[in-house]
Chains A and B, each alone.
Chain A
Amino acid sequence: MKEAVELLAKHDGAAHVLAGGTDLLVKLRSGFVAPQVVIDVKAIPQLRGVESDARGFRIGAATSCAELAEHAAFSAAWPGVVEALHLIGSTQIQGRATAGGNLCNASPAADSVPAMIAAGAICQVAGPGGEREVPVEKIVTGPGRTSLGRGEFVVGFRLPKPLPRSGDAYLRLIPRTEMDIAVVGVGVSLALDEKGVCTHARVGLGAVAPTPLLVEAAGKALVGTRIDDAALAALAAATSAVCKPIDDKRGTVAYRIKVAGVLARRAAAIALDRARGRNA
């Protein structure tokens, strides 16, 4: 870990972190990046695997999506996060792509990031000053840009133990069923009290702004309600309201704004079903 931090700091800007390589190798090949040093962080033990304790889960940043999806306890606890991770690319990509890489590649359309934001995931960052913890939504600052400083890299994520009567879900829209980039992606995580009133809700939104977003107003629209039609309509309106998408071949501005609300509503309905099915 120390060696990786030192190399990154020494070759500031000229060193690249290699995790699964599914983005970096394409950029190397196309000449989009030409690093002097590539640091393969998969060999660092702290960056691999899933651990759990009474507080929740800790996943290594360089753990592959396939390994995360195969982890029964993690999949049961955070099905929305896992379905988002599992949507990234083909079987071949799943075997290599990582949660840390998907975040640090800093694509506005990264599938796992809105789900992680909704889950309240905390990013563990190593750097010359030691380790610090940052909410996932504070990492990406623009397309291809992160808030990571000189010599810093993401080593893992902490996800809380799910609350009783809680559930999460991730939905994305693409024009086909597989192998495409999100036109809109929405993650929702929510919890209910014993009477079925929503006590906690977070909404993460992707592909409709320069960065993935935490939509606080959309979460607030559910809290204190029984997640009825009115609350879901308020959630959809709050989600659509923060969209600042681009027009491109995959969707117009108006379409993406509309779909963001629709997907938020549908993801919330799935999360609600999961919350009702989870009594402990």
Chain B
Amino acid sequence: MATKHHVTTTVNGDPAEFLCTPEQTLLDVLRDVLYLTGSKEGCASGDCGACSVILDGRLVCSCLVLGVEAEGRDVETIEGMAHGDELHPLQQKFLEHAALQCGICTPGFLVAAKALLARNPDPTETEVRYWLAGNLCRCTGYDKIVRAVLDAAAEMRGN
């Protein structure tokens, strides 16, 4: 059994500490150590995007980040998206547009879409589709997701 490392980091704006083995991924740590189970494991190989988190402002797959790499970094997960009972506009629009069915991919899509709108508040449909190409959904066929993101973007711009 490898020695555990002590990691100090920030998760959703709050200081966090955890112990992890060298080979544990950030996704493993989020789910199994910090009990933040909103991030999902779909493929564990960086193909599906269900484990998407924002690391120091960059959208990444947490399954492709080691837990120890979170030392001193800033991690944003799906759990940080709503403020109490108040949903983020993206979450609200996903509900309104029925942009989810089974829901496994949804946290990843929401985090990815949030990262997009932080960078580009007024994306074209093409930009949304390319940005979200690393998030796989096997239920909706993407169209409702794309429409929800565009609608949320418009609302967040104040239109």
Contacts and interface: CB of A to CB of B under 8 A. Distances in A.
Name the residue in B61, B64, B130, B131 with the highest tally of chain A Cβ atoms < 10 Å from its Cβ: B64
Given A21-B65, A25-B66, A40-B69, A96 B130 contact: no
Interface string B130-149: 11111100000000000000
B31 to A, nearest CB: 15
A12 to B, nearest CB: 19
Interface of A: 18, 20-22, 25-26, 28-30, 38, 40, 42, 64, 66, 89-93, 95-96, 178-179
A82 to B, nearest CB: 16
A177 B107 CA distance: 25
A92 B61 contact: yes
A110 to B, nearest CB: 16
A28 B64 CA distance: 10
A43 B131 CA distance: 28
A29 B59 contact: no
Instruction: Tell me whether chain B's interface is mostly helix, strand or loop, or mixed.
Output: mixed
B63 interface: yes
B125 interface: no
A257 to B, nearest CB: 29
Nearest to A27: B45
Given A92-B134, A96-B64, A96-B65, A38 B22 contact: yes
B44 A92 contact: no
B6 interface: no
Given A38-B22, A92-B60, A95-B58, A21 B134 contact: no
Contacts of A96: 58, 60-61, 64-65
